Amino acid sequence: MNISSQTCSLLFAKKLKELGVKQDSLFYRFDHGDLQYIFCKEYEQYSPHVNLNIEDGFSAFTVVELGEMLPGIINRGDIRFNLQFYKLQGNAQGTYYWEGQYYDGNTDIVLHSAFNHFFIADESEVNCRAKMLIYLLENKLMELPK
């Protein structure tokens, strides 16, 4: 498995930076016109010939980094919603996708289900988690991770 499939896409990395998420990740994505690439921050210290400014890049968060930022529980009134991610088979051809939601484990009420049946889905777990974080920040369901 290559590192680009283990980090969030450039689109989501840009959106998270725009939303004010602290740019502190092991990997960074860079966008220079037709050239897009991923760079490991740890590599910079061992390779002085690399001349990149991390501030020009976008944190390409991993599944673990995003998992640490996502709240495990969101309280709304008297209801406590728990975070859950799972992998589902999408069709008979065996295509899989990841789905994430905040749910009430006792009554199966899904956070925001009255409005839009709140589920986040993507073909990759890392992008599913990035979408979840973006959704929570845009809808003011959580504060920026410290």
pLDDT tens, per residue, the chain with 146 residues:
678 788 999 999 999 999 999 999 999 998 877 777 787 877 655 445 556 677 788 999 999 999 999 998 888 777 777 888 878 877 666 677 788 887 776 665 666 554 344 567 788 889 989 999 998 899 888 888 66
Rg, the chain, Cα only: 17
Same domain? 34 vs 13: yes
Same domain, 12 and 35: yes
**Domain end (from 62, 86, 111):** 62
Give the angle subtended at the CA of 129 by the CAs of 123 and 130, to the nearest 5°.
Answer: 100
Please check whether residues 72 and 124 belong to one and the same domain: yes
Instruction: Kindly state the helix (H) or strand (E) to which residue 46 belongs, with its residue range.
Output: helix 41-46
CB crowding 70-79: b at 16 or more within 10 Å, else e: bbeebeeeee
Confirm whether 143 is domain-assigned.
no
Centre a 10 Å sphere on the Cβ of residue 44 and count the other Cβ atoms it contains: 14
User: Are residues 21 and 72 located together in one domain of the fold?
Assistant: no
Helix (H, G, I), strand (E, B) or coil at 94: coil
Pair 16, 73 in one domain: no
Same domain, 14 and 49: yes
How far from 48 is each of 45, 51, 112, CA to CA, in Å? 7, 7, 49
Query: Does residue 79 lie within any of the structural domains?
Result: yes
Q: How many domains does the chain have?
A: 2
Neighbours of 4 (CB within 10 A): 16
Q: Does residue 49 lie in a domain region? A: yes
| Nearest partner of 128 among 2, 38, 9, judged by Cα | 9
Q: Do 35 and 74 fall into the same domain?
A: no
Whether residue 91 is found in the same domain as residue 72: yes
Residues 132 and 84 in one domain: yes
Confidence at residue 9, expressed as pLDDT on a 0 to 100 scale: 94
Give the bridge partners for 84, in sequence order.
Answer: 101
- 48 and 80 both lie in a single domain: no
Per the structure, the complete domain to which residue 36 belongs is given by 3-62
